[in-house]
Amino acid sequence: MKGNRLRWAALLLVVGCSRGAADDPAALGKRFDLHWAASDAPASLADAPAPGVADMPVTWQAAVADLKPTSGFTLDGDWVGTASGSFETPVALTGGPVRVTVRAKGIRVVGEEWPVLRISLDGRVIGSVTLAESAADREATEQFTSPRARWIDASVETSAPAGTALLRVVYDCTALDPVERTGIRGVFFDRVLLRQAPAAAQRCPAQAPGPPPRRLLLIGLDGLSWSVVLPMVNRGELPHLAGLMQAGAYGPLDSIPPTYSPVIWSSIHTGVGPAGHGLTQMSMKATGSYTSESHATTSLKAATLWQMAAAGGRSSVAVGMYTSWPAQPVRGVIVSDRTFRSPVEGGVWPPDQALPVADALAELQKDPLPAGLPDRLEDSLRRDRNAVRLLRAYLAGGQPDLAAIYLGTPDHAGHMYYEDHAPFGLDHRFTERGPRNPGESDPVESAYAFVDRLVGDLLKSVDLAQTAVVVVSDHSCDMADEATRVRYKLDDLVRKATGGRAYVPFDESWIVAQIYLNIRGREPEGMIDPAGGAAAAEEIRGILAGLRTDAGQPVFETVGAHAAIAAAAGEYQPADLTGIVNARLTAQESVRLPDGASLPVRPMLHDQAFRSGTHDRFGSIIVSGAGARAGALIHSATILDVVPTSLALLGLPAAADLPGRPIAEAMADGIASPCVIGSWTPLARKAAAAAAGAAKLSDEELEKLRALGYVN
């Protein structure tokens, strides 16, 4: 890979979408009365919880390369430690528990002697960490210079008095194999972080945060893959993404497996992992129901970025964000993702914008797409184009502090056409079809070029001198194997095998099947006594794990039972068991049931051969515009870092309960959150009530919000 060419890609071509009446933002907004108004209700941090004793947010971080280690060399901003060496720096301690984290990865070990880090404070060794956990993640394609190994956090924890201490890290790399595909031997070091309770001076006062130092445009591009973007940037075919990369910082974004889109996007929006926000599966199954549906914001246990903005006195307009229905009350407008399917109750905040949005989308839907785009992506392309036009219509009436949008076309293009894509800009494709014919387009690249033009349209509608732009994807795409192309219809099998005591609420399952117990009081026609749920789960786990076909194959590779999680009526209910389906099942087999009957496998299999792409772990991030550090590479960021970075760019307080970090290497010196609170989540309900009151809702509308849990 030619790093300099990728980093400083030239802007050779600027292309705009075809303009018509529907693409005139001001005219569209005026015609359909699309407008937003920020609430003038005062914001206050008086009710914000203080950081707890156990809260240890990142209070300091530095690039290891800036600490001048004693052996090794720099590579694109990282430090590659070779042989043995050390680095040290003075750090300010607030007193009490402290956690030191070194973000690193070791490359190709000889035998079983993994590299070791020894960490000390003022000469006292506080812990040693062996980098065995950094073994190469062969399913994660990180398209950058460093080898395909996942970053890990090598952490040690101790207690130390307040004051200044000398932090020293000693590394031993002698066990590393010098033969590596990049010709590199050593440990890659990215950053060292200090987590501890914030000092009194770092805690927030009760008054509202000051005015925003800049605005923020957050663009979510589902499935955006560097393996597609970088070759196209080099050829000048993505001028707007290239411009953002050239003016800012960019790199891979580590995600959380399994990469279920609603789970990962909820982590991006809230800054916490699945355990923190409460969503763990691809779809939702509510208590009191046997059927599934898409996830809802009412299932979220953590505040979203736009709720944090509202609580901090910032205005927001967010369009089509993943898992944003019902629309949450904010200081501005939310157009939820479900609104793009059809008008739905609770789809738009404030309610008086629901009809204008529905009318505008109906009109936009009539406008044809440009010719030559991939046929199977028509719905996705049209949806994304309409979302951009809708957001631009709102922006024409004034730019809010936070503007956010989600576009799903890169993900759909990867799923539908990846076998027709020539990876890394080469002339061949994954399949046996051979090279493309002269003039034949790459459907994945055609979709990316269309999305790039949409990004360019968005950039026209904001003041780039005063706006930070963050582009983020939840994962990337890769070629699907045969197992990931098949969907499984398992409800009939599970019900018959367990005598109706278990079921699968989803029409189709991936290779990971979510299985529920039919519990009395939770399910409409429950059979299992709740008191005996754990024993029943273990019995049913054994039944399902023992299912065999007439060819002797297991139906499930493994079945695991989970601890029961109580959920109120109508709330999201996690699965009781998870089964990994045997991908070697064939349509010619039958499954033998415990009662001696058999079920043919063929009706259980739905071969989606047209879905040639699947998810890969690493997503993408670009931080550009006002406040960005131009020319920087981001190496070890994760999806949990997006919210802390966004809060810093908006001048809002950090929260001690957010496990991520501001991506300091992507931002100009001096940009940081002004102070620290314990959590944004308790402030979200109060901010929602204030927004609802300012919107002058009817009693009926207020009652609906109470039913959804947004106001008291």
String of DSSP letters for 9-41: --------PPP-GGG-HHHHHHHHT-------P
If pLDDT is split at 50, 70 and 90, which confidence band does 257 have? Answer: confident
Question: Of 14-18, 185-189, 388-392, 610-614, where does mean pLDDT reach its minimum?
Answer: 14-18
Mapping DSSP to helix (H, G, I), strand (E, B) and coil, where does residue 241 land?
helix
Q: What is the pLDDT of residues 182-222, one digit of tens each?
A: 445 568 899 999 999 888 888 898 887 888 999 999 999 99
What residues contact 67, with CB distance under 8 A and at least 6 apart?
87, 88, 89, 192
What's the CA gap between 497 and 491, in Å, rounded? Answer: 10
Which amino acid is located at 258 in the chain?
P
For a pLDDT cut of 70, what percent of the chain falls above it?
81
Mapping DSSP to helix (H, G, I), strand (E, B) and coil, where does residue 363 land?
helix
What's the CA gap between 368 and 362, in Å, rounded? Answer: 13
Paired residues of 334 in beta bridges: 318, 349
* pLDDT at 146 (0 to 100): 36
Mapping DSSP to helix (H, G, I), strand (E, B) and coil, where does residue 266 land?
helix
Question: Of 305-319, 475-489, 506-520, where does mean pLDDT reach its minimum?
Answer: 475-489
Say if residue 369's pLDDT is above 60: yes
DSSP 654-693: EETT--S---GGGB-TT---S-EES-SHHHHHHHHHHHHH
Torsion angle in degrees (nearest 10) through CA of 267, 148, 636, 468: -70
* pLDDT at 356 (0 to 100): 95
Question: Of 44-48, 118-122, 220-224, 669-673, where does mean pLDDT reach its minimum?
Answer: 44-48
What is the overall mean pLDDT for the chain? 84
Identify the residue with better confidence: 92 or 9: 92
* pLDDT at 434 (0 to 100): 57
* pLDDT at 82 (0 to 100): 77
* pLDDT at 422 (0 to 100): 63
Paired residues of 693 in beta bridges: none
Say if residue 701's pLDDT is above 70: no
Nearest to 636 by CA among 92, 267, 100, 144: 144
What's the CA gap between 84 and 540, in Å, rounded? Answer: 53
* pLDDT at 2 (0 to 100): 35
What's the CA gap between 59 and 26, in Å, rounded? Answer: 44
Say if residue 663's pLDDT is above 60: yes
Q: What is the pLDDT of residues 293-318, one digit of tens each?
A: 777 787 788 999 999 999 999 999 99
* pLDDT at 3 (0 to 100): 37
Which amino acid is located at 75 in the chain?
L
| Domains of the chain with bracketed CATH | 3-42+211-480+614-680 (3.40.720.10), 58-197 (2.60.120.260), 483-610 (no CATH)
Say if residue 672's pLDDT is above 60: yes
Distance, C-alpha 591 to centroid of its chain: 38
What residues contact 78, with CB distance under 8 A and at least 6 apart?
64, 65, 146, 188, 189, 190, 635
Q: Are 96 and 159 in contact (CB under 8 A)?
A: yes
If pLDDT is split at 50, 70 and 90, which confidence band does 145 have? Answer: very low
If pLDDT is split at 50, 70 and 90, which confidence band does 149 have? Answer: low
Say if residue 134's pLDDT is above 70: no
* pLDDT at 706 (0 to 100): 53
Report which listed range, 85-89, 207-211, 698-702, is most confident.
Answer: 85-89
